Amino acid sequence: MTNEIVKLSAAEMAAKVKSGEVSSRELVDAHLEVIEAAEPSIKAFLKVSGDVAREQADAFDAKSADEKAQLPELAGVPIAIKDMIVTKGIETTAASKILEGWVPPYDATVIEKLKAAGMPILGKTNLDEFAQGSSTEHSAYQTTHNPWDTERVPGGSGGGSASAVAAFEAPLALGTDTGGSIRQPGALTGTVGVKPTYGGVSRFGAIAMASSLDQIGPVTRTVLDSALLQEVIGGHDRRDSTSIPEGPRPMVAAAREGAKRDLKGMKVGLVKELGGEGFQPGVQARFDEAVKKLEEMGAEVVEVSCPHFEYSLGAYYIIMPSEVSSNLARYDGMRYGLRVMPPAGVPQTAANMMAYTREAGFGDEVKRRIILGTYALSAGYYDAWYGSAQKVRTLIIQDFKNAFEKADVLVSPTSPSTAFKFGEKMDDPLAMYMNDIATIPANLAGVPAMSIPAGLSDDGLPVGFQFIAPQQRDEVMYKPAAALEAALEEDWGGPIWQSMNTPWLNAAE
Amino acid sequence: MAEKLMKYADATKKYDVVFGLETHVELCTKTKLFCPAEVHFGGEPNTQLTPVSLGLPGSLPVVNKTAVDYAIKLGLALHCEIAEWSQFARKNYFYPDMPRDYQISQYDKPTNGNGYLDVELEDGTVFRVPIERAHIEDDAGKNTHVGGADGRIEGADHSLVDYNRAGVPLIEIVTKPIEGAGDRAPEIAGAYMRAIRDIVRALGISHARMEQGNMRADVNVSLRPSADAPYGTRSETKNVNSFRGIEKTIQYEIRRQAARLDEGKEILQETRHWDEATQTTAGGRVKSDADDYRYFPDPDLVMLHITKEHIAEIEAQMPEMPRERRNRLKAEWGLSDLQMRDILNADALDLIEDTVKAGASAAGARKWWLGELSREANNKGVSLEELPVTPADVAEVEKLIADGKLNDKLAKQTVAGVLAGEGTPDEVVAKHGYKIVEDTGAIEAAVDAAFEANPDVVEKLKSGNMKPMGVIIGAVMKATRGQADAKAVTKIVMSKIK
């Protein structure tokens, strides 16, 4: 029973809840069972909030039919939350030692919305410390394993959310995407990951990494589930000044329309700069095949050039660390989280306490970025570094504008490679940074993008296919994404995860 | 080590003074600049907080619209250009009272730029102070150092931090370097600060109470050999929080710097602080290139867009500015410069205006507030406003006089009753039965008695020497317990000596 329930899509679970076939409590219990069985090998969760989830599920189940009818379609379906998003009463650490034991006194706006929607919270998922990394290996607590091959990384920074959803520990999860932290783990775990338009989902309560790039988004197993979830969490929030003063776009309708697999009249732009050299042949092959599928469904494929994308990684690694250096200043041991007093013999001053706390509390990658950013913002360097990077950003926005004059939606492989082995890129930060080469431009420009599974590479590991849509037009990417998903699943004879070994599910049975 | 000082007159003769003021004005918005935490003076430590003002992970600032409107008002009052687009930046530095370890402040795109303020000096001279900018920023919390001798961090064994003030909106008004002030620099600085106080109070945007830290100034002073020489190195005296302190700081810095320059010593670019006890400034931190706040636009806050229409809306609601108001009232009340200055020095302008509005004559109102009531306030060591008497009370007393129901003496007794908490003037009058004696028989009897007691005076009066009339009136007043009308007494005396 458990196996069958947890393998359903969130939309299917919601339908069964609605018909009364299963209760929210049964969904929660089933997933908690899988979590217990899977966690020893997957380690996706930093914290499982079983009691909270059961309580929320019971509260939902106790509602009257009328009350339930007022709630969003996903009501009653449980969800996992990346530990970068604050949850009232549930320890939130950003996978950093510096926040160990911190229990937030407030909920992020997205958490308030999930609670209002009657969606129980299963727990907090692992990530690279403060979302800084592309493999989740930079977590201060544990290494999350890729369910497709537990010797490999799940991508990052949102490896915990992606693995939890891929391993059926949760039907849905939330992630945060600053340079690809939702989409790249999606690609590496064969799941769907969406970075909405910047400002489309409130950042209030999302622990800041790089404020001008961060965006909360859905992690799911189907395109429709992402659309349903994005409509729940999206919309204006007056507590986030960068939030767009409009409601969510009609994404669910677009996804349902896409499932009809008719893309006539749609122009798909192949981004010349995102592919080919540097991309694993198996990744490129699955991508090319998927593009053909789009063509077969009536889409017109055109090549577009975004000449400034080659500077995007450089600009990103100036802007992001600059904001990181400022955003992470508050972790100083004064008000919350870790405090390390200077050792005997060192003056017991506030400044020394801050220094010892930050030295002990932050990992190497976080320190690396704080140092980079501090340098980039320094007087005398600001114009050359931060100033130039902002100019590049403007050019990239212009590249997108030009491209969207020629095409309705842009496509590329999500990540240059499939999941790599633990430790493979830990000693080479630049190689690690290259993982995000195709995902970063969307963050720099604020446009929405998503990754869906495009099949398995020659190594038997999932490949991600990225759609990018114009700003505030998130629904535009949902239609072809749903169409491609349907077409590919027909070829595969079912969802991609059918090819995945899931020994923990048998254990849960 | 006491610093060498040059005589002030010599210093200002020998050197050209350039000074500047950076004035922090705390706005009296109901809530903080970036979150809905309410602001009250004197609350229990760490009670006026939200996740935002405590800088909790995930919290985001949102600009308080009222604070921006207040800034626009001040910008208009200071004749500034109001920027259509202004921006908040982050000023990064680690300090325990900064919840985020960065201050949010406007940097290269302030809301108000390039204005001026005309300030009037004691002798009526008007001096134009050029304004560089008036930008919005948030305040830090407050550190209390415990265990040291004088409350300073040196020698303390621990410190407490109160974040109630963290996030309270401030406007920092920065003057351009003020030239041409010469030996009147301290006076101009004091007049400027008072003018700012009057303006922000008139606008209703700040309580501007210096003793509560609502207003404080950083004072920059430099000297140069002559007005055409380049600026000298300046000292910056931080957080001076009284008008006198600001004046004294400038005076002291002029004397100190002049003495150093005379000895061929260099002026350090440093931050100093004003010590009220010793009436000196003391050296603090030497500024160096290492001070780098790594300013960059705050990505959490979109740019502020202020439309011309919005500015026009605010402009239409601007109250009369203090200087214009003073000039108008001076003319309306027919006062001399000196009379007006007495009113201002007594801080009685609002009280007198309100008394006039309540029906009293300007002369009557002025007489009470600058006379009897000023003396009373002085004796008690309180301000006029703190006296338990209102402009309406004073106007009521004046009306009783005008109606012939009280004479001066009874009026004073009535006001004394009001001050003693006996109620309104009418109540005091009723309680004591104060009234002018109109019974001419009783007055005549008293006059006769006075005549009998002072035959020499009667002789003088009869011979046409009216000087000692007061003796008789005084005696009559005494006999009637002050309730006789002096005019009526005079009339009866005159009829009797004919």
User: In this predicted model, what pLDDT tens digit does every residue of A448-465 receive, in sequence order?
Assistant: 999 999 999 999 999 999
Distance from CA of A222 to the nearest CA of B (A): 29
Tokens of B30: 């109901």
Residue A202 lies in a domain: yes
CATH label of the domain that carries residue A414? 3.90.1300.10
pLDDT confidence of residue A135: 97
The pLDDT-based confidence of B438 (bands split at 50, 70, 90) is low
pLDDT confidence of residue A409: 98
Of A211, A239, A325, the CB nearest to B299: A211
The pLDDT-based confidence of A259 (bands split at 50, 70, 90) is very high
Check residue B17 and report its DSSP letter: E
Q: Is B146 on the interface with A (CB under 8 A)?
A: no
Distance from CA of B308 to the nearest CA of A (A): 22
* Cβ distance of A241 and B58 shorter than 8 Å: no
Residue A7 lies in a domain: yes
Q: Is the pLDDT of residue B375 over 80?
A: yes
Q: Is B386 on the interface with A (CB under 8 A)?
A: no
Nearest CA in chain B to A353: B96
Give chain A's count of helices (H) and strands (E): 19, 11
Nearest CA in chain A to B62: A241
Q: What percent of chain B is modeled with pLDDT above 70?
A: 98
Q: Is A335 on the interface with B (CB under 8 A)?
A: yes
Q: Is the pLDDT of residue B1 over 60?
A: no
Q: Is A237 on the interface with B (CB under 8 A)?
A: no
Q: Write down how long chain B is.
A: 498
Instruction: Tell me if B145 sits within 8 A of B153, measured CB to CB.
Output: yes
**φ/ψ of residue B214, rounded to 5:** -65, -25
* Residues in chain B closer than 8 A to A94 (CB atoms): 57
* Residues in chain B closer than 8 A to A239 (CB atoms): 60, 62
Of A329, A335, A354, the CB nearest to B92: A329
Task: State mean pLDDT over A179-193.
Answer: 98
Helices marked H in B54-184 — which ranges? Answer: 65-77
Q: Is the pLDDT of residue A297 over 60?
A: yes
Residue A385 lies in a domain: no
What dihedral do alpha carbons B465, B470, B472, B474 form, nearest 10°? -170
Distance from CA of A285 to the nearest CA of B (A): 39
**Dist. CA B372–CA B380, nearest whole Å:** 13
* Cβ distance of A208 and B302 shorter than 8 Å: no
Triad B295, B296, B298: Cα angle to 5°? 120
CA B27, chain centre distance (Å): 15
| b/e sequence A39-65, b meaning 16+ C-beta within 10 Å | beebbbbbbbbbebbbebbeebbebee
| Least confident window among A279-283, A390-394, A428-432, B44-48 | A428-432
Q: Which of A489, A498, A484, A456 is nearest to A282 (CA)?
A: A456
**Dist. CA A467–CA A410, nearest whole Å:** 6
Please give the full DSSP string across A408-463, using - where no structure is assigned. SEEEEESSSSSPPBTTTTTT-HHHHHGGGTTTHHHHHHT--EEEEEEEE-TTS-EE
pLDDT confidence of residue B449: 86
Helices marked H in B3-162 — which ranges? Answer: 8-14, 65-77
Strands A409-413 and B169-175: unpaired
Q: Is B440 on the interface with A (CB under 8 A)?
A: no
Secondary structure string (H, E, C) spanning B133-155: EEEEEECCCEEEEECCCCCCCCC
Contacts 24+ apart (CB under 8 A), B193-198: B193/B21, B193/B23, B193/B217, B193/B243, B193/B246, B194/B243, B195/B117, B195/B119, B195/B120, B195/B322, B195/B323, B196/B23, B196/B25, B196/B117, B198/B322
* Residues in chain B closer than 8 A to A374 (CB atoms): 294
* Cβ distance of A99 and B57 shorter than 8 Å: yes
Q: Is the pLDDT of residue B436 over 80?
A: no
Helices marked H in A208-333 — which ranges? Answer: 223-233, 251-258, 281-296, 312-327
Domains of chain B: 8-314 (no CATH), 320-432 (no CATH), 440-497 (1.10.10)
Distance from CA of B242 to the nearest CA of A (A): 30
Q: Is the pLDDT of residue A128 over 90?
A: yes
User: Which amino acid belongs to residue B222?
Assistant: S
Q: What percent of chain A is modeled with pLDDT above 70?
A: 99
**Dist. CA B430–CA B84, nearest whole Å:** 62
Mean pLDDT computed over every residue of chain B: 91
Tokens of B317: 């609601």
Q: Is the pLDDT of residue A315 over 70?
A: yes
Nearest CA in chain B to A377: B294
The answer for residues whose C-beta is within 8 angstroms of residue A296's C-beta and 6 or more apart is A487
* Cβ distance of B62 and A94 shorter than 8 Å: no
Residue of B294, B301, B302 to mutate when probing chain A, most A C-beta within 10 A: B294
pLDDT confidence of residue A508: 66
* Cβ distance of A329 and B54 shorter than 8 Å: no
Q: Is B285 on the interface with A (CB under 8 A)?
A: no
Active site residues of A: 82, 157, 181
Distance from CA of B8 to the nearest CA of A (A): 39
Work out the number of other CB atoms within 10 angstroms of the CB of residue B403.
Answer: 8
The answer for residues whose C-beta is within 8 angstroms of residue B4's C-beta and 6 or more apart is B256, B259, B260, B263
* Residues in chain A closer than 8 A to B58 (CB atoms): 85-86, 104, 108, 204-208
Residue A317 lies in a domain: no
Tokens of A489: 């699943």
* Cβ distance of B59 and A204 shorter than 8 Å: yes
Distances (CA, A) of B346 to B324, B370, B375, B419: 19, 7, 11, 18
* Residues in chain A closer than 8 A to B294 (CB atoms): 325-326, 374, 377-379, 382
Q: Is the pLDDT of residue A469 over 90?
A: yes
Quote the ipTM score: 0.96
* Residues in chain A closer than 8 A to B55 (CB atoms): 330, 335
* Cβ distance of B100 and A240 shorter than 8 Å: no
Distance from CA of B146 to the nearest CA of A (A): 14
SS3 at position A84: coil
Please give the full DSSP string across A35-75, using - where no structure is assigned. HHHHHHHH--EEEE-HHHHHHHHHHHHTS-HHHHHTS-TTT
Expressed as residue numbers, the domain containing A486 is 2-309+394-495
Of A85, A106, A323, the CB nearest to B299: A323
Task: State mean pLDDT over B303-317.
Answer: 97
**Dist. CA B298–CA B100, nearest whole Å:** 12
Q: Is A105 on the interface with B (CB under 8 A)?
A: yes
The pLDDT-based confidence of B134 (bands split at 50, 70, 90) is very high
**Dist. CA B311–CA B315, nearest whole Å:** 6
pLDDT confidence of residue A509: 59
Task: State mean pLDDT over A234-244.
Answer: 97
Task: State mean pLDDT over B3-13.
Answer: 95
Residue of A99, A377, A378 to mutate when probing chain B, most B C-beta within 10 A: A377
Q: Is A69 on the interface with B (CB under 8 A)?
A: no
Q: How does pLDDT run across B141-165, given as a tens digit for each residue?
A: 999 988 877 777 777 888 899 999 9
**Dist. CA A411–CA A238, nearest whole Å:** 33
Q: Is A99 on the interface with B (CB under 8 A)?
A: yes
Residue of A81, A100, A241 to mutate when probing chain B, most B C-beta within 10 A: A241
pLDDT confidence of residue B290: 54
Q: How does pLDDT run across A316-346, given as a tens digit for each residue?
A: 999 999 999 999 999 999 999 999 999 999 9
Residue A503 lies in a domain: no
- Which residue in the block uniquely carries the two structure tokens 């053909």? A292
Distance from CA of A391 to the nearest CA of B (A): 14
**Dist. CA A233–CA A482, nearest whole Å:** 20
Distance from CA of A453 to the nearest CA of B (A): 31
**Dist. CA A175–CA A185, nearest whole Å:** 10
pLDDT confidence of residue A1: 61
* Cβ distance of B296 and A377 shorter than 8 Å: yes
**Dist. CA B8–CA B247, nearest whole Å:** 13
Q: Is B464 on the interface with A (CB under 8 A)?
A: no
Query: Integer distance in angstroms from the first to the last C-alpha of chain A?
Result: 7
Distance from CA of B91 to the nearest CA of A (A): 9
* Residues in chain B closer than 8 A to A92 (CB atoms): 57
Q: How does pLDDT run across B184-221, given as a tens digit for each residue?
A: 999 999 999 999 999 999 999 999 988 888 999 999 99
Q: Is A240 on the interface with B (CB under 8 A)?
A: yes
Nearest CA in chain A to B301: A241
Task: State mean pLDDT over B465-487.
Answer: 83
Q: Which residues on adjacent β-strands are paired with residue B120?
A: B126
Instruction: Tell me if B370 sits within 8 A of B342, measured CB to CB.
Output: yes
The answer for residues whose C-beta is within 8 angstroms of residue A127's C-beta and 6 or more apart is A82, A83, A84, A94, A95, A136, A139, A156, A157, A158, A159, A160, A161, A181
* Residues in chain A closer than 8 A to B32 (CB atoms): none
Work out the number of other CB atoms within 10 angstroms of the CB of residue B52.
Answer: 25
| Least confident window among A129-138, A467-476, A497-506 | A497-506
pLDDT confidence of residue A152: 98
Instruction: State the sign of the Cα–Cα–Cα–Cα dihedral A144, A147, A153, A154.
Output: negative
The pLDDT-based confidence of B484 (bands split at 50, 70, 90) is confident
**Dist. CA B308–CA A6, nearest whole Å:** 58
* Residues in chain B closer than 8 A to A206 (CB atoms): 58
Distances (CA, A) of A253 to A17, A476, A478: 21, 11, 9
Task: State mean pLDDT over A99-122.
Answer: 98
**Dist. CA A172–CA B361, nearest whole Å:** 78
Instruction: Tell me if A170 sits within 8 A of A7, measured CB to CB.
Output: no
**φ/ψ of residue A384, rounded to 5:** -65, -35
Q: Is B57 on the interface with A (CB under 8 A)?
A: yes
Domain count along chain A:
1
Task: State mean pLDDT over B269-294.
Answer: 82
Q: How does pLDDT run across B79-125, given as a tens digit for each residue?
A: 999 999 999 999 999 999 999 999 999 999 999 999 999 999 988 89
Complete edge-to-edge strand list for the sheet that includes strand A409-413? A45-48, A121-125, A79-82, A172-176, A216-220, A192-195, A449-456, A462-468, A409-413, A267-271, A300-304
